[in-house]
Every structure is written in C-alpha cells, then in structure tokens.
Chain A
Amino acid sequence: MGRGSGGGGVGIAGVMLSLSVGILVVVVAVPVLIIFFNALWVAGRFNVADMVKVLSEPDTYRALLNSLFIASGVTLMSTLIGTFFAWLVTRTDLPLKATMKVLFLVPFMLPSFIGALAWKMLLSPRAGYINRFFMDVLGFDGPVFDIYSFAGIMGVETMYLFPFVFIQVCGALERMDPTLEESARISGASLFTITRKITIPLVMPSILSGALLIMLYSMAHFGTVAVLGIETGIFNIPTLIYEKIHQSAGSFKSIRTGTVLATVLVVTAAVIMYIQSKVLSRGRYQIIAGKSFRPLEIKLRGLRVPILCLCIGYIAFTILLPSITIFLVGGLKTYGLPFTSENLTLANYKYILFDWKLTRDAIWNSLSLGLAAALITMFAGVMISYVIVKMKVRGKGILEFLGMLPFSVPGSVIALGVILTWSGKYGINIYNTVWIILVAYIARYMAFSLKANSAALEQVHDSLVEAARASGATMGQALRDILLPLVRPGMLAAFFLIFLPALRELTVSVLLYGPTTRTIGVAIYTLNEDGETVYSAALAGVALLIIVTGQTIIGRFTRAVK
C-alpha cells in the first residue's frame, strides 16, 4: 500500500515541507511572479493596454516575429533531419548503426553558441575561411554563403538541436511492436505503404513531442542569434532582452520592455508545453510497449554505402569541421592568417589558461558556480522530491508545478526575474556578484534535479522506510540510513545533469555578469564581441575539452554503476 509514511516524525517532515516550499517560492516563484507583475502592473494598476503598446513598438514586434520565424524554420528542418536519421539507424541495414547512433547524439554535447562562433569563422561573408577560399582560390565574385542571415541562424541551430527529435523517434521506433508492420505486410501492403500508413502515424506523437521541444528551445535561444544576428540587426526575444538591459543599464523603460517580452516568452512556452503534454498523453499507444523487439529492417541495397557516406559527411561537416576550426583559430597568432605551421602556436592557450586574469577568472567562476549549483540543487532536489513523491501533504501539486516551472521558463526570463528580485528592491542586493548567478542557476536547474531524484525515489518502496521505523529508527535515522543510500544514484545523476550544462551556460550568466564574474560562456561571447577572436576561440576550445572529458567520465561512470 503506497500510503506514505505519515504518522510519527512530524518534526522532520514539517521542517522538510516548509523548507521545500520556502526554496521553491523564493528561488522560482518570486522571480517569475515579479516579471508578470512588472509587465502587467503599471503605476499601481493592472494595465494590459500598456503591454500591447510595448509589444507594438517596431523593434519588440520584429523580435517577436523573428523568434517565431527562426523557431519555425529550425523546428521544421530539425524534425525532418532528426526523423530521417532516426529511421536510418533503427529501421534500415545501414552499416555501423550503433556507432552512428552515438555520433548523432554528439551535437547535444556541443554548446550551440560555440558552434555559431565556428561557423562565423568559416562563413562570415568577408572573412570566413570557406568564403575566402571560394573567392580567393576559385575566383568567385562574392561569398558563397552569408552566415549572418536567417538561413545561417536556422542552419546552425538545426545542427545542434535535431538530436531532440532524433532521440525521441529512435526510442519510439525501437519500442514499436514489429508485428504491427508484419501484419500489414502479410495483408499485402508494400514497404512504402507500411511506412506511410503504419509506421509514421505510430511514431507521430514522438516526432511532434520532439519538434515542440525544439520549438520551445529555439524560441528562447540566445547564443546562436547573439553571435550571428546582431551584426545584421536580427534580434529575437532573448537577444532583445539582453540588448535592452545592457544598453540602458537597467532603466525603467528597458526593464519594462524586457518583462513584457519575457511574459510573452513564458506564455508561448506554456502553450507549447501544454500542447506537448496533450500530444504525449494522446499518443501513448498501447502498441508501443516497453519491451525491445527486433524490428523490420529495410534493405538499402546499393544505397547502403552512399547513405553511410552521407551520414559520416554530415557528422564531419557539423561536428568535426567546426570543432577543428575552433582549435585551429584558437592557435593562430592573429585572426585571419592562413592555417600554416608558422602561424600556429600554443601561446594563446597558455595565455588564457595561466596568464590572463579575465579568462582564468571565467574558468574558475564557471567551475565553482557549476559545482555549487550542482551540489545545492542536488540536495534541495532530493528533499523536495521526497516531499512530492513520498509525503501526503495537501498542496504538493503546487510544489510539483513550481519545481517543474523552470522547464518552461526560458533562461533569459529567469535571469531577468532574478535581477528584479535580488538587486536591492526587496532588501537584498547581490547584483554584480557571483551569488546572483548562483541563485539563477539553482532556479534554472532545479527541474533537472527534481526529475532525476523523483525517478530514483519512486523506486524506493515506502515499506523500506517503514521497516526501519518499525526497527526503532526515528524518521531522521530512517532517511539517513535507508532512503539516502538508495537514492544516491539519482542524486549523482542530478549532480552531473546540472554540473555539465552549468559549465557552458551563457543565456543566464550573460544577463547577470559583472566585471569580475564572467563565466566561461560569457567570456567566450564577450571576447568575440570585442574582436578578440583568437582568444575567444582558444577559450571555446578549452571549454570543448572540458565538456568532452566530463561527458566521457560520466559515460564510464554511469556504465560502471549499471
């Protein structure tokens, strides 16, 4: 009987409940509410007309349309590419399928703003290496491709976002009962008809759900648009918020425009999340069972090798080429020189790692912020998940809602809310310190921790804790001796789920950094803005190394645990 372990131990349970509510309210609810309040409440009155006025100003209006336009394009392209590759690695006799599947997930690891940086170096209209090659060597009149364009932004985002669809569709295709397809085949349907009439409709919910995730992510995406759009005046909502806050140094009008934009972003995100949950609940067909089957494989025949080449080419073009570019540019004596051995040096790397205070600070800040945010969020997450999963208290639905809220609240919104809440207006001013970034990270990553810890807690049956109580343990002892050791894997998962993304975080910290509180992401971004392209690239290279090393260690580690 899963009726929780109420009864005695009201003391510690009460403490945990109030702490959980407290943390979620202060860290998550207040910043978001303050944004709504600022957007909708003008001069002490509820005022929607003023919000409409702000939205109809040309630059806000354009940013809104741009966000929608970019997100639509990215979603469409990512969905096509993701579904196609997912189908290739699950349903065809493509060689090296397992390896290819892993490779297609690699873009998840690469921060897209670093990708954008690399593509800028390759395809900026005048200085990009590829464009220069075409113009100088092949004698083209103009650049072959201008990365500072909607097409460029969409292309780069697509490269790094398509795994969202890929992973969902792969899962659905792998779990689908092949007898459904076989019975259609026995009824005389051709493979093409089966794919169109049976397979695609069955995996449609997964495709849609992945597509909506991409839509959500792209709408709120800062990095790529910031790197590639600002040059030609393409703003989306997050970059416009950043621009407003930075240019006007926090004037009332700019903050208000920011909050209005943020509100629009939150509402859009909420609508997307709602549609996604509807799609998923409707699409949970019985036939996609939890078991693994051996699905029907389509023979590619003569196309096997060409398609494999296409896949490898895609990976090389989207992962290898940008990464190598980053490392090479990071080693150049001056940006723009050709990649010859006399132009390349390790001095830049040595300089940013050991000599330059700005970059050293950034690396240190990111490491310590990541570590602190991961640790705090991990422990708070266990406690809050425990309250949500195991305790029978009224109103825990609200806790769950608050905890999961940051999933649909974009990073720039959280940052803006944190600025409004913690810059002195309510008694505490931590603006321009690392603490404000830490608070924002905790709010942003709490949902990750809750997910991992809830999953772990759900596997710990109530009777295990009750058995400890009956053995004479107080509630505290039972939690310490039984529950905590059993949810440790979930806690570790939460830790890494937070630590690694926090290391490469840009969207939140770019709105919150002060002179000495740059993070790695901010440092890469601002160095690039200031024209220090080689140092920016060198730091990005270091970041890539840290991320890849971290992922590898975790990969090893989680496999060892299993």
Chain B
Amino acid sequence: MAEIRLEGVRKSYGGNTVLSGLSLDVRHGECFTLLGPSGCGKTVLLRLIAGFEKPDAGSIRIGDRRVSDTAASVNVPPNERGLGVVFQDYAVWPHMSVFDNIAYPLKLAGVDGRALRTRVMEAVAQVNLGGLESRLPSQLSGGQQQRVALARALVAKPALLLLDEPLCNLDANLREEMRFEIKELQRNLGITILYVTHDQEIALAISDRLAIMDEQGGIRQIGPPAEVFERPADRYVFRFMGLANFLPVRRTADGLFVGGSDQPFPWPPPGGEGARWLAGFRPSDVRVARDGGGLACRVKRASFLGAMIDYLIEVEGSLFRTQVETHEALARGLVLGEAEPCRAAFQGIHWFEDRETREGR
C-alpha cells in the first residue's frame, strides 16, 4: 500500500513561506499530478515527500508509515523511505555505465550475482534500452538518459514513484512517447506515481487525478482531468488549463450586457446573484460568422497559421482569441481582414464572478 497523506505541511525558506499548512491525499495505485506554475512549491512538496527537505510543521505518511512528523520529531531519511525518484535533470551518474546506474539501488539492497543481473536486464528491457547497458551516460541522448533514470527508479520495485518534471527537457515527440510509456509502466506495475509538472497538457494526459496549485502554494482544485477541465473551480484553474478568454458581462434587471455597453449577451445566465461577471470560454468555444446571431464584433488582428487562422477579436472594448480552420474559413467565406466586422457566438460558457473588475482578459 502506498497512499500518501500530508497533513498541515508547512515549509519556508528564510522569510519566504512556500507551503502554509497544506493537506493532500494521494490514493494507492493512482497517477497523481501536482500542476502549477514554476515557484508554486510543487517541487518543494515532492522533495518533502522524498525526504530531501524537512517540513517546518505537519506530518507526512507513506502507506501506513509515518515518514515525517514534526510533532513527534520523526523524520525518516530518504534512503529508508523506499521510493523511486526521477529528477528533472535526470541525475544519471556520469561515471557509471547504464548497467551500473540501474544496478546501484539493487546493490545497496544487497542483491548480487545472477539475481542482480536478471533484474537489471529486466529493467533495461522495460524502458527499451536493450543493447545499451554498457554505454556511459555521455554516449546517450537526452531521452535515453531519461529512460536510464526511470529504470533506476523502478528497478528496486518501489511502491511509490516520484517524478519531478521528468519530460520537460525532451523535445515534443519524445515527450509524447515517454508520456505513454510512463503511463503504461504504471498500469503494468500497479505502483503509485506522484508527478510534478507545470505542463497542463502532460498533466491531463497522464493523471488519474490532479491538483492545481497556485503561486502561494495553495491547492485550488483536486479532481480527475476531465472534471478539472470541464468544471474549473475558479478563474485561476480555468486559465491554467489552456488558452482562456474572459469577457466582462454586467447583469441588470433587464438581463445580461457585454461590459459597460448596451449590447445584450444572449446566453444562459450565471447561477449566482452578483452584478459583475466574467464569461470564460476557450478559443474553440467560439463560432465566428459574417452575419446572423451573436455579438457584433470587429477583427482586431488576423494571423494565418497554415491549418488555422488565428483571430484577435474586439467586442465593446474587450478582446478575445479564436481560431478558424482554414478550409472551413474558405468554404464559408470567413477569411476576415483586419478591422472587418463579424459576429461571434459562444457555447460552454464558464461563469466567474468578477470581484476585481479591472483585471480583464
């Protein structure tokens, strides 16, 4: 069993508080992602779980073992926590061959001889590095080094694997491939994975559940990817999950109006009672047309991107972005020039109450 339970974890460096009383549960056997901007404390959280840092307050449990508890002065060193860690910079030992890198955890555990060789070769095969085991890391590509790090973290069969942005130094194709492989390994081995990243695309693709963290080290929302994407808890989460447009909308007794204007906003109203709202929507939630229903807008900027045309559109002093597929734009006569008027309709609007009015898009 390798669920993780954090309670009231606090950590600060000097006067700089990174985590202030954070609590979190990661279930056994799931792939859980901590998603947040850089500097939000997600790496610190991972390092606390690994035991590289000591919390100022709070407790951390891995399985049924208390690995860190300030109240009881418990702090288990990292080598006794029984986990695998993959670092952002791979941290493959440059003076050891691929084989020796992967064998090291087993040697420390007292495995030797034939058993050692068999298990190392198993791990090598698992990450598709067969035939490269006698190479030195300097003779490997970035992706191959990443696999060595992964094999090394997995070889001792830890119940919990911690991954700190392991893919962000790889190029796009390799990143996608490794993403599938990690997911595959997790399913096959049935281990718990805690994955830390700032890349929402990877987080959505790989996680069973994810937590969105903000710059203050707080958790804004926890849930399965589809839920977080479709029902964001707040504006912050909505914005973090992809390119986001926000349109200020005013509610009066007569209905909804765009910004401060008289142009009505003819879509289902928000559930709450407030007067000022932001309509949040993705570029893909916009339907652009030359005329017909929807808001009267004007094209501010048009950029041809090949398969897509990207439009920046102005409506009553606010801007939003959308994209139209090129062949559709050609078929429907939607190749719009700058300053041309157009109509825009929305679907799937997320309503957020607008407390700080000035903060626009």
Contact = CB atoms under 8 A, between A and B. Distances in A.
Interface string B63-91: 00000000000011111111111011101
Contacts of B51: 7-8, 469
B170 to A, nearest CB: 17
B95 interface: yes
Interface in A441-484: 461, 463-464, 466-475, 477, 481-482
B156 interface: yes
Interface string B117-143: 000000000000000000000000000
B82 to A, nearest CB: 8
B210 to A, nearest CB: 21
A531 B263 CA distance: 109
B54 interface: yes
B326 interface: no
Interface in B32-85: 43-44, 47, 50-54, 75-85
Contacts of A6: 52-54
A468 B44 CA distance: 18
Interface string A294-309: 0000000000000000
A88 B77 CA distance: 59
Nearest to A474: B79
Given A8-B78, A8-B79, A477-B108, A467 B85 contact: yes
Nearest to A392: B13
Nearest to B153: A470
B104 interface: yes
Nearest to B13: A3
A471 B156 contact: yes
Contacts of A486: 93-95
A477 B80 CA distance: 13
Contacts of A469: 51-52, 77-79
A470 B50 CA distance: 7
A3 B51 CA distance: 13
A6 B43 CA distance: 15
A58 interface: no
A6 B89 CA distance: 19
A473 B91 contact: no
A381 to B, nearest CB: 20
A512 B30 CA distance: 70
Contacts of B89: 461, 463
Given A3-B53, A472-B105, A467 B47 contact: no
Interface in A465-521: 466-475, 477, 481-482, 485-486
A347 B331 CA distance: 105
Nearest to A472: B108
Contact of A471 (B47, B77, B104): B104
Nearest to B77: A8
Contact of B105 (A5, A8, A471, A482): A471
Interface string B142-183: 000000010011001000001000000000000000000000
Contact of B93 (A464, A475, A477): A464
A473 B108 contact: yes
Interface residues of A, number: 25
Contacts of B92: 467
B109 interface: yes
A469 B85 CA distance: 10
A1 interface: yes
A517 B80 CA distance: 52
A461 B53 CA distance: 16
Interface string A205-241: 0000000000000000000000000000000000000
A550 interface: no
B87 A466 contact: yes
B152 to A, nearest CB: 7
A9 B77 contact: yes
Contacts of B85: 466-467, 470
A67 to B, nearest CB: 45
B108 A471 contact: yes
A470 B78 contact: yes
Contacts of B13: 3
Among A470, A475, A481, A486, find the residue whose CB has the most chain B CB atoms closer than 10 A: A470
Given A470-B79, A472-B79, A463 B87 contact: yes
Among A3, A464, A469, A471, find the residue whose CB has the most chain B CB atoms closer than 10 A: A471
B84 A470 contact: yes
Among B78, B88, B105, B156, find the residue whose CB has the most chain A CB atoms closer than 10 A: B78
Nearest to A3: B53
A471 B87 contact: no
Contacts of A467: 85, 87, 91-93, 149, 152
Among A1, A7, A485, A486, find the residue whose CB has the most chain B CB atoms closer than 10 A: A7
Contacts of B105: 471-472
Interface string A1-34: 1010111110000000000000000000000000
A458 to B, nearest CB: 15
Nearest to A470: B85
Contacts of A472: 79-80, 82, 105, 108-109, 156
7 contacts: A3-B53, A463-B87, A466-B50, A467-B93, A467-B149, A469-B51, A471-B105
Interface of A: 1, 3, 5-9, 461, 463-464, 466-475, 477, 481-482, 485-486
Given A6-B52, A6-B54, 7 more contacts: A1-B43, A3-B53, A463-B89, A467-B87, A467-B152, A471-B156, A472-B109
Q: Report, nearest first, the 6 A-B pairs whose CB atoms are least far apart.
A: A8-B77, A471-B105, A463-B91, A470-B85, A467-B91, A469-B78
